Amino acid sequence: MQPVVTILTGTRGAGKSRFCLSLARSHRGVAALVSPSCQDDQGRRFGIDALVFPGEARFPLARVVDPACPPRRASGRDRPRYTLAAAPREELPFPGVPLGPYLFSPAAFDGATASLRELLLRGGNRLVVLDEIGPLELERGEGFAALLGELLRGEGVPLLPLVVVVRPSLVGALRECVRRERGGLTPATIGVGEGTHPESSRLLQTLTGQGDLSDR
């Protein structure tokens, strides 16, 4: 039986990355790449980092270059719950890949991908978390697109239960990607926010089929 694939979704600001951080920090055997936002002292978002667990290696994934450019909406309800601020110039990735208000760093994508691969090849993992997949991957084949394919196919890395985070408007595209790479497998979908926040230990036990959920 193939390891399960689960899509974790929710509107912008619903807590997807917070949930993934909790899962990665609280349980053994979780290899995770989580992309939380970076905020200044006024609570304005100026970028996105990629954190790789275990170890919490940090890669500066994206920085805001155009605060006036609204982030792409996933749905009519998906209004930004934050304001943007231009990142300090010394933090801008050059050369970078522009998308909406952000400039994404190819070097950070490569570094985070290599870090997660290395952790997976060491063994001892029972679950992989990839937060998050977006239009850069699903529409342009960039970002973490190659990593997603490897995780789905078990190509060069162990084939393990996988949680992939995506916004609601891209669930259909991600579902088709999973079916294509996994020979027709239909992934489960779990929502975060609006009273549907999953409990990390229960989700981990369901996905891995293992009862030992000792915290770190």
β-bridge partners, 164: 7, 130
Q: Is 157 part of a structural domain of the chain?
A: yes
Report d(CA 55, CA 53) in Å as an integer. Answer: 5
Q: What is the CATH number of the domain that holds 181?
A: 3.40.50.300
Tens-place pLDDT, residues 10-68 = 987 788 999 999 999 989 999 999 999 999 888 889 999 999 999 999 999 999 998 88
Determine the Cα–Cα distance for residues 184 and 65; give it in Å rounded to an integer: 40
Has residue 176 got a pLDDT over 80? yes
Q: Is the pLDDT assigned to residue 76 strictly greater than 60?
A: no
* Domain assignment present for 93: no
The more confident residue out of 210 and 179 is 179
Global pTM value: 0.87
Q: Please report whether residue 98 resides in a domain.
A: no
**What's the whole-number mean pLDDT along residues 118-127?**
96
Tell me, what's the pLDDT at 205?
A: 67
User: What is the C-alpha separation between 144 and 109, in angstroms, rounded?
Assistant: 7
Mean predicted confidence (pLDDT) in 116-123: 98
Is residue 84 included in any domain, yes or no?
A: no
In a domain, 184, yes or no: yes
Where does the pLDDT of residue 114 fall: very low under 50, low under 70, confident under 90, or very high at 90 and above?
very high
Instruction: Categorize the per-residue pLDDT at 199 as very low, low, confident or very high, splitting at 50, 70 and 90.
Output: low
Residue 85 lies in a domain: no
Structural domain includes residue 30: yes
Long-range contacts from 114-122, C-beta under 8 angstroms, 24+ separation: 115/33, 115/52, 115/57, 115/59, 116/31, 116/32, 116/33, 116/52, 116/147, 117/147, 117/150, 117/156, 117/157, 119/31, 119/52, 119/53, 119/54, 119/55, 120/31, 120/157, 120/158, 120/160, 121/157, 121/158
Higher pLDDT: 71 or 118? It is 118
Q: Has residue 149 been placed in a domain? A: yes
Residue 203, pLDDT > 80, answer no
Lowest-confidence pick of 14-28, 90-104, 105-119: 90-104
**Confidence at residue 192, expressed as pLDDT on a 0 to 100 scale:** 83
Contact 7, 175 (CB under 8 A): yes
Structure tokens at 87: 């990142």
Report how many domains make up the chain.
Answer: 1
Say what the pLDDT of residue 68 is. 86
Q: Which domain holds residue 156?
A: 5-36+48-62+105-208
Residue with tokens 């990735």: 93
